[in-house]
A and B are shown apart, each in its own frame.
Chain A
Amino acid sequence: MAGNIHLTLKIKDMPLEKKIRELKEKREKILLGGGEQAIEKQKALGKRTARERILSLLDEGSFSEYDLFVEHDARDFDMDKKSLPSDGVVIGTGTVYGAPVAIFAQDFTVAGGSLGLMHSRKITKIMDHALKMKIPLIGINDSGGARIQEGVNSLAGYGEIFFRNTISSGVIPQLSVILGPCAGGAVYSPALTDFVFVVENISKMFITGPEVIRTVLGEEISMEDLGGAKVHSEITGNAHFYAKTEEECFEQIKKLITFIPWNNSRKAKMFDPGEPDQEYRIDKIVPDDPTLPYDVRDVIRAIVDKSDFFEIMEHYARNIVIGFGRMGGRTIGFVANQPLEMAGVLDVDSSDKAARFIRYCDSFNVPIITLVDLPGYLPGVDQEHAGVIRHGAKVLYAYSEATVPKLTVILRKAYGGGYIAMGSRHLRADFVFAWPTAEIAVMGPEGAANIIFRKEILSSDDPDGTRKQKVEEYKAKFANPYVAASRGYIDAVIEPGETRKFLLHGIEISDNKDVTMPSKKHGLPPF
């Protein structure tokens, strides 16, 4: 009984309350980050603070912060006299639409979000946690780069992060959000992750900045033109999602999370299925003349649940379209030639874009639907010299290697190498369907007739007339799906209106697809 009396007395003295008050005070001080002035500066740039960003991204009340009290331990250059709250990075876990995520956000208000040893240890702690718990990792980058005062410790920190990005690749989804500068070596963490999000006027990514380029090379360029959001979305292909504001960017992140599984041993969450919108009339989208353009995204919208198609890398290599949609409630990865842009050809950039996405889908158990309509590969010295052989081979590799369900619909043209590359039977598509408008041939009728009937055309009294006649002959014989169907290279010739039905059924019965690949350490894709 004496013990209980002792306890009562303690509560009366309120040391616990005092301690809690002390904790609250300590927290409040740290939560101010780099202080009010630095926060004001951050806001003036249209940016939010690290914690505001995390709180607005995660489900309300779901965020648990760790390592709040971590401080840097640098000694040189009078650093020991400085306090850097939380060492300039916020880490923790929470949920997005109920899905668990690990998250870190660099705090630019604290020493410019610079990366020192303890800063990096916080990031690697949450990365280790994400990998161990098999949950997605979201990294918000807003940092001036390495903390010069911490020397090689800072470099070591980056290296530890890159290593973990690589080891986690294909196990857990990794998302990088660039909400400020991300320069020098720091850019390689996002580059190693699955999806990179950028925001106009806020994101800046480059290896060497405008200042270095000016002094060393004498070339003048602004930060925005060198490595702004638009540059990485349109030209370099480093970014997958482009937004005008942080709010729009966060909506994109949340939407993406709904489409992908937590890790590579799971499937994406099933949603309630729903029919496509009536406004997308699948039989009215594709013109019969194979030289006329249309927007292939309308075909996708005419097929997917609720016509909800979530495009990835919308502004880069537009001649191929990639993204997620759902069929029967299941997440599907779509790869489609885009006749609206560059006639939908395969080239260096579109091959890169498609191949990487196919590998993403394969890693995370997302079935792939390929829509084919392409005249072949883009001719040109620049393409050949840029390595279209090596880059184009990535598409073949990615499709061949993928063991997720693979379904292909040939809408119109499928000529030559393009036919083989775009998820053909020969690369082990599970189902290949073709519309009656499909033309499966070595090349377009004009080119083919010119070669096959070269002698007849040249020796004719009316070469133009003979050419036209031979082109028509070739069209009638080969510009259709039935030659390929007669060999079993396609499984069914279907009406456009039957597409969703055939695909839904194909996806459903492929749900337990099981393919064994020969044992190897890893393959050697051409990159």
Chain B
Amino acid sequence: MEKTENPGLLNIDTTLYKTNISGKFAARKPYRPADPRIISSFIPGTILEILVETGQEVREGDDLIILDAMKMQNILKSKVNGKIKCIAVSKGEKVSKGRLLLEME
């Protein structure tokens, strides 16, 4: 196997070490705290039903979207009280994991 070298500097306890940086480390995603107003697909699947409309007021726990995945109908619920800002998918659409489905104000 060809060895990939990626020389760089690694900071451990404020000391910089000259070393090869692994692909895994280089490709890591910076952490972003979860935003409860954003509903995205936690699993790839198909949008079976959209139960709300743009502008509609919803309460925490209300059903928003039914996502068909792994032979299960997963009901995605609202995590907050608020208004639907936009719906990013349509009924019958296949969605990948992590895809934005719906955003609340």
Residues of A within 8 A of B (CB): 200, 216-219, 230, 233-235, 242, 290-293, 315, 318-319, 339-345, 349, 375-376, 378-382, 415, 443-448, 450
Chain A residues with CB under 8 Å of B17's CB are 291, 293, 339, 343, 375
Chain A residues with CB under 8 Å of B22's CB are 318-319, 341-342
Chain B residues with CB under 8 Å of A341's CB are 19-20, 22
Chain B residues with CB under 8 Å of A242's CB are 1
Per-residue A-contact encoding for B13-43, CB less than 8 Å = 1, 0 else: 1111111111011001101000000000001
- Within the complex, the shortest CB–CB distance from B13 to chain A, in Å, comes to 3
Q: Evaluate contact between A380 and B12: CB separation under 8 angstroms.
A: no
- Closest Cβ neighbor of A384 among chain B residues: B31
Chain A residues with CB under 8 Å of B43's CB are 217
Residues of B within 8 A of A (CB): 1, 10, 12-22, 24-25, 28-29, 31, 43-45, 69-70, 94, 96-97
Between A and B, how many residue pairs show CB distances below 8 Å?
83
- Within the complex, the shortest CB–CB distance from B68 to chain A, in Å, comes to 11
Given A217-B69, A233-B1, A342-B20, output 15 extra A-B contacts at Cβ < 8 Å: A217-B44, A218-B45, A219-B44, A230-B1, A290-B15, A291-B18, A293-B17, A341-B20, A342-B19, A343-B17, A345-B12, A378-B12, A445-B15, A446-B13, A450-B14
Contact of A447 among B13, B19, B45, B70 (CB under 8 A): B13
**A217–B95 alpha-carbon span in the complex (Å):** 9
Q: Evaluate contact between B15 and A293: CB separation under 8 angstroms.
A: no
- Within the complex, the shortest CB–CB distance from B99 to chain A, in Å, comes to 11
- Closest Cβ neighbor of A289 among chain B residues: B18
Chain B residues with CB under 8 Å of A292's CB are 18
A-B CB contact pairs (8 Å), 29 listed: A216-B69, A217-B69, A218-B45, A234-B1, A235-B24, A290-B15, A291-B15, A291-B16, A292-B18, A293-B17, A293-B20, A318-B20, A339-B17, A339-B19, A340-B20, A342-B19, A342-B20, A343-B17, A344-B19, A345-B10, A349-B24, A375-B12, A382-B28, A382-B29, A443-B13, A444-B12, A444-B14, A444-B15, A446-B15
- Closest Cβ neighbor of A341 among chain B residues: B20
Contact of B10 among A216, A343, A450 (CB under 8 A): A343
Q: Evaluate contact between A219 and B96: CB separation under 8 angstroms.
A: yes
**A230–B2 alpha-carbon span in the complex (Å):** 10
Contact of A315 among B1, B18, B19, B45 (CB under 8 A): B1
- Within the complex, the shortest CB–CB distance from A236 to chain B, in Å, comes to 12
Chain A to chain B: the 6 pairs with minimum beta-carbon distance, closest first = A447-B13, A343-B17, A381-B31, A375-B12, A217-B44, A444-B15
